[in-house]
Chains A and B, each alone.
Chain A
Amino acid sequence: LAAYRTDEGQPWVLPVVKKVEQMIANDKSLNHEYLPILGLPEFRANASRIALGDDSPAIKENRIGSVQSLGGTGALRIGAEFLRRWYNGNNNTATPVYISTPSWENHNSVFVDAGFKDIRTYHYWDAAKRGLDLQGLLGDMEKAPEFSIFILHACAHNPTGTDPTPDQWKQIAAVMKRRFLFPFFDSAYQGFASGSLDKDAWAVRYFVSEGFELFCAQSFSKNFGLYNERVGNLTVVGKDADNVQRVLSQMEKIVRTTWSNPPSQGARIVATTLSCPQLFAEWYDNVKTMADRVLLMRSELRSRLESLGTPGTWNHITEQIGMFSFTGLNPKQVEYMIKEKHIYLMASGRINMCGLTTKNLDYVAKSIHEAITKIQ
C-alpha cells in the first residue's frame, strides 16, 4: 500500500496531527461514545466543504449530504451499495459501471461486491504518447449506455498520475451531461497532488457548477497522513435538500448493516483541524510540504534523465501528478530494475515518487538509464 515517505525514507506523522492528538488526549471531557450513524457532524460538514469549496453553490443551496466512512474505500463502497439499490431503477444490478484502464485495482472489487454485474473499462492511458487518451475516453462515453456510472479520479490519477486538463474536463463533462452519465468521483489526493486544495478539487467543483448530481468519495489517508484511522467521507450533491435528505436516510440503512457507525478518533482529528483557522493553516502547510517534496523529486528525476541523455522523452515525469508515475518502462526493463538494481516498481512501470530521496535520486536515474539502454 502506498504511503508518503520523508526524504529520509520514513513515514511522516503530520506535526499538526501530533498537536491535535495531544489536544484530544488532554481533553478529559471527551469519551468514547458512539458517533451518529452518518458520523461526526463537524467532520462531515468540514470534509464536504473542503471538497466543494467554501463558496460552493451546492452548500449554499443546502443540497449536499455527507457520510463519514472508513477511508476512501468505505466511501466508495457505501456509494456503490446505494447506487446499486437506488440508481437507474430499483436494484438495477445491470447498470454498467465504467472504470478507467488502468485504475486502482480495488475499484473493480468494490463495485462487484456491491452487486453490479456489468463492470466495463474506459480508455484512459495512452502508452505510446505517455498521456491521456482523451479521444478514446470520450469515445467510450459516447458509446456507453445512457445512465452508465463512470468512476472518475478527481486528481492524481492512480496509477498513471495523468489527469485531464481543465479544458479536457470540460469536454468530459459536456459528453456526460448530454448522455446522462453519472459521475462518481474518487478523491484520494486532494491537496497532496498539487499542494493546493482548490486546484486539486477543480474537476469536482466544475461538475457541481454544471449542475450535475454526483458522488465524491474522499480519503483523508494521504493528505492527513491518517492511513490507519480510516478517515473518509462520501459527499453527495443533489438537486435539492429534499432529495439529498431521502438519499442520506437510505445511506444510513446501508451504513447500519456494514459498520453501524464510524470510528471516532480520526474524524475528531480532522474535524478539529479543519474547523480552527490556525490549525487549518498549519495543516495546509504540512500538506504543501508533502506535495512539494514529491514535485521536487519529479523535477530532479526528470532533469537527471535528461542530463544523462536517456533515450525517450521525460517531460511526463513532471507533467504527471501525485504519488505515482507511469515511467514508460516495459516489463522487461522493470524486471531489470528489480533484479539487477533492487529498485522496486510495478510491472506496469509505475513508480512511487514517495520512494525517491535526495540520496537515491542519482542511483534511480542511472538505473533507469541502464534499463532503457540495455534492455529493449
Chain B
Amino acid sequence: MAQHFLLVLLLPLIVSNTAHGTTTEAPTPSPAPMHTGHTMQHTMDHTGTHQPGMHHTGTHQPGMHHTGTHQPGMHHTGMDHTGTHQPGMHHTGMDHTGTHHGMGTHHPGMHHTGTHHPGMHHTGTHHHMGTHHPGMDHTGAHGDHSSTGHGSGHNTYFYFGHHEVVVLFLEWTINTVPALIGSCIGVFAIAMLYEGLKVWREMLIVRAADSSKAARSNSYSLNNITNGKSTSKLDVDIVPRAAEPSTRHRICNCMHALQSLLHIVQVLISYGLMLVFMTFNVWLCLSVALGAGAGYFAFGWRRPITVDRNEHCH
C-alpha cells in the first residue's frame, strides 16, 4: 500500500522526464479490435501548428489526452480518422477539456462535432502506464504538448503534477520543478500576507478608536479649562459637536476610506487564493493552507481584541 502511494507521487515526475517513445497498446476491452500490433507514438508536437482538418491517421486511441493542444481557431470539423474510425470505438477516457477554440471567445456548449463526450475521465484507461491509478490526472504526463492558448482545462480532482499548471494568468505557467517550488513559496507568502492584512486592519481600527477617544478626552479637558468649569461626570458623557476638533472628523473619514481600500485588497487576495486552490494542484493547495496557518501563527500574536465583523464567505 505504501509503495502504491509512492508510485502515485513519483510516477508523474518519472513519466514526464522520459521521452514518450513507443508505447505498445495494451489490450483494451473494446468491442472492435482497433490497432492490432500498432505502436502508438505520443511525440505529438502541436506547437503553433494550425491545422484545419487535422488528420489523426491511425493514432487516435482511447485514452489519448489532448490537454495542452490549444490552437486558436482550430477546427475539429474536418478531423479525419482514416482507418481508425470504427463504429463502436470507445471514446471513454478521451479528454478534450483542453481544447479552447480561440482565446477570449468563451462559448459554452461548444461542439466538437461528434467527439464531445460529457463526463469523460481517465479513470483506469491509461494502460501503458502499467499501474492502475483511478482518478489520477495525466495533465503532467504529456509534457510535449506545449500550450499556446488557454489553461489546461478544468480538473475536478486533486493531482500531483508540475506540467502546464496555469496559475491565475497565462503567463504564470509552471512547467518545471523549480518553477513549481518557486510558485509554492510565492503562494505561501501571499497566504501569509493575507492573514497579516486581516490583523493589520483590526489594528488600524483599534488605533483609530484609541486616537478618537484621546481626541475626545482632549476636547473635554480643553473645554473645561477654557470654560473654567470643574470636570463633572455629566460633561464627560455629553460631547458637544461644535467643541470637537475637526481632526476627529478627518481621521474618521480617512480611516474609513483606507479601510475600504484595504477591504478591496483583502477581497482580491481572498478570491485569488480561492482560484489558486481551484487549480486542484496538490502542491499549490498545500501551500495555500500552510501559508494561511503560518500567517495566523505569525501575526496572531498581535491580534487585538476581537472586532465585531463578518469576514467569512466573501
A interacts with B: no
Hey, which bits of chain B sit against chain A, CB under 8 A? Answer: none
Hey, which bits of chain A sit against chain B, CB under 8 A? Answer: none
